[in-house]
Structure 1
Amino acid sequence: MIWLSELQKFGVAFTAAGVLFFIFGVLTFFDAALLALGNILFVIGLILIIGPQKTVAFFTRPQKRRGTICFVIGIMLILSKRSFIGFFVECFGILGLFGDFFAVVVQFLRSLPYIGDVLSHPAVAPFIDRIAGVNHLPV
């Protein structure tokens, strides 16, 4: 089991709430208020999980610069009530920032009881691997 400090536990809760509000914002036809609330909660949660210094270091890495710029512009567009365009710009930024983690997330999900069976199914696995960029090493 992963041991988290109290602050990190709150960070996980804030991040999860941010993702949920972001999904609800999309489901309600790009409601700017829900998307903005989701963005704010997600960023607060990220800061609480990894700390302010590491968050700044993550977002200012040279290879993450394009993702950071798109993420920030997307948030600004959503906050200025241009939620549809801001959503797509922000999604491009999220892919640029967190695209490296998708393979790790897929491998973790495959270790879960029911979800892992679905993601490892021969009809689904190649599609998921291509999207997440999972590389299988020959055994």
Structure 2
Amino acid sequence: MIPITEWQKIGVGITGFGVFFILFGVLLYFDSVLLAFGNRHKLRGTGFFLGGVAIVLLRWPLLGMLLETYGFFSLFKGFFPVAFGFLGNASNIPFLSALFRRFQGATSMV
């Protein structure tokens, strides 16, 4: 039998907890009810994005990529003002900060 120190026992316990919570998180992440609840108001963007993936797989890459692009912008349109606002405040380059502030608009969540 291999002797195990107290530190090794603690390490195995912490690793076990980590593996458990990672697996539990993955199971909850792929739960269909939670996915449907979180994505219900973005159904059109999800449909266009996944439809674009299907069209690309059916060998119509240009049309599929256009559908994916529209779906991507439709899904993340609420995030873009926040991202541009952060980039406008974080950069010290005069031209870029003015450009990002213009893109930020009045719909920022900050």
TM-score bracket for this pair, using the shorter chain length: 0.5 to 0.7
Tell me the TM-score normalized by structure 1.
0.46
Percent of pairs with identical residues: 27
Task: Count residues in correspondence.
Answer: 81
* Inter-CA distance 88–136: structure 2 relative to 1 (3 Å threshold): closer
Instruction: Determine whether 1:128 maps to 2:108.
Output: no
Contact 2:88 2:101 (C-alpha < 8 Å) held by counterparts: no
Q: 1:102 aligns with which of 68, 77, 80?
A: 80
| Residue of structure 2 in register with 1:69 after alignment | 47
Tell me the TM-score normalized by structure 2.
0.56
| Residue of structure 2 in register with 1:118 after alignment | 95
* Higher Cα Rg, which structure: 2
CA distance in 1, matches of 2:37, 2:53: 19
Question: Which SS does the other structure have where 2:59 is aligned?
Answer: coil
* Inter-CA distance 112–52: structure 2 relative to 1 (3 Å threshold): farther
Q: 1:58 aligns with which of 38, 43, 51?
A: 38
Structure 1 position 120, deviation (Å): 2.2
Q: Structure 1: which 5+ runs fail to align?
A: 1-5, 7-47
TM-superposition CA deviations, 1:68-90 (whole Å, max 9, x none): 11011001111222110001111
TM-superposition CA deviations, 1:8-61 (whole Å, max 9, x none): xxxxxxxxxxxxxxxxxxxxxxxxxxxxxxxxxxxxxxxx7xx334555433x1
